[in-house]
Amino acid sequence: MRNKDLAIFCWSIVIVYLMVALTFIWWIFSSKPLNQEAAVAAIFMLSPVGMLLFEPIRERLEDSIDDLITSACIDKSVYRILIFGRHGSGKTTFIQTAFTLCKADPRIISTKYFEYRRFRAHLHKKELQLDQYTDVAVADYKGQEPSQVIIDSSKDFFGPKGNRVLNAIIFIVDLVPRKNDEHGNPLNDESLLEWLKNGNTLNKIKERVEEHNQYINQASLQLLFRSLYSQNLKSVIFVINKKDLIERLIDDGYLPTNFRDFREYAKHLFDRMIKNINEACTQLGIEDFSNNDSWVFTVSAKSKDESCPLIVRLLKTRS
Ligand X SMILES: Nc1nc2c(ncn2[C@@H]2O[C@H](COP(=O)(O)OP(=O)(O)OP(=O)(O)O)[C@@H](O)[C@H]2O)c(=O)[nH]1
Establish if 160 lies at the interface with ligand X (CB under 6 A). Answer: no
| CB 119 within 8 Å of CB 133 | no
Selected from 84, 242, 269, 278, the binder of ligand X by CB under 6 A is 242
Instruction: List residues bridging with 235 in a β-sheet.
Output: 168
245 touches, from ligand X, Mg ion, none (C-beta below 5 to 8 Å by class):
ligand X
- How many CB atoms are closer than 10 A to CB 113? 9
**Segment holding 172, helix H or strand E:** strand 168-174
State how far the Cα of 233 lies from the Cα of 229, in Å rounded to an integer.
6
CB of 151 to ligand X, least distance (A): 16
> Counting every residue, how long is the chain?
319
- Cis omega before residue 160 (within 30°)? no
Nearest to ligand X of 88, 160 (CB atom): 88
Selected from 91, 155, 164, 304, the binder of ligand X by CB under 6 A is 91
CB of 144 to ligand X, least distance (A): 6
The one segment of 13-21, 22-30, 107-115, 197-205 that binds ligand X by CB under 6 A = 107-115
The one segment of 154-162, 209-217, 238-246, 278-286 that binds ligand X by CB under 6 A = 238-246
The one segment of 87-95, 119-127, 200-208, 281-289 that binds ligand X by CB under 6 A = 87-95
- Residue 286: strand, helix, or coil: coil
Selected from 64, 67, 88, 92, the binder of Mg ion by CB under 5 A is 92
Nearest to ligand X of 63, 247 (CB atom): 247
Establish if 90 lies at the interface with ligand X (CB under 6 A). Answer: yes
- Residue 15: strand, helix, or coil: helix
88 touches, from Mg ion, ligand X, none (C-beta below 5 to 8 Å by class):
ligand X
DSSP 232-280: T--EEEEEEE-HHHHHHHHHTTS---SSSSHHHHHHHHTHHHHHHHHHH
| Residue 202 one-letter amino acid | L
User: Which of 252, 78, 276 minimizes the C-alpha distance to 173?
Assistant: 276
Burial of 269 by CB count in 10 Å (0-12 exposed, 13-18 middle, 19+ buried)? buried
Selected from 60, 87, 197, 267, the binder of ligand X by CB under 6 A is 87
Whether the CA torsion 59, 156, 116, 216 is positive or negative: it is positive
Residue at shortest CB range from ligand X = 143
Strands 79-84 and 296-298, by their bridges, are: unpaired
Selected from 64, 89, 96, 111, the binder of Mg ion by CB under 5 A is 111
Selected from 110, 154, 201, 290, the binder of ligand X by CB under 6 A is 110
Angle between helices 218-228 and 271-284 (to 10 degrees): 30
What track of x and - describes contact with ligand X for positions 168 through 197 (by CB under 6 A)? ----------x-------x--x--------
State how far the Cα of 269 lies from the Cα of 274, in Å rounded to an integer.
10
Q: Please state the φ and ψ torsions of residue 255, each to the nearest 5 degrees.
A: -140, 80
Selected from 56, 106, 162, 285, the binder of ligand X by CB under 6 A is 106
64 touches, from ligand X, Mg ion, none (C-beta below 5 to 8 Å by class):
none
CB of 211 to ligand X, least distance (A): 12
Establish if 146 lies at the interface with ligand X (CB under 6 A). Answer: no
Establish if 89 lies at the interface with ligand X (CB under 6 A). Answer: yes
Contacts with Mg ion by CB under 5 A lie at 91-92, 111
Contacts with ligand X by CB under 6 A lie at 85, 87-93, 106, 108, 110-111, 142-143, 178, 186, 189, 241-242, 244-245, 300-302
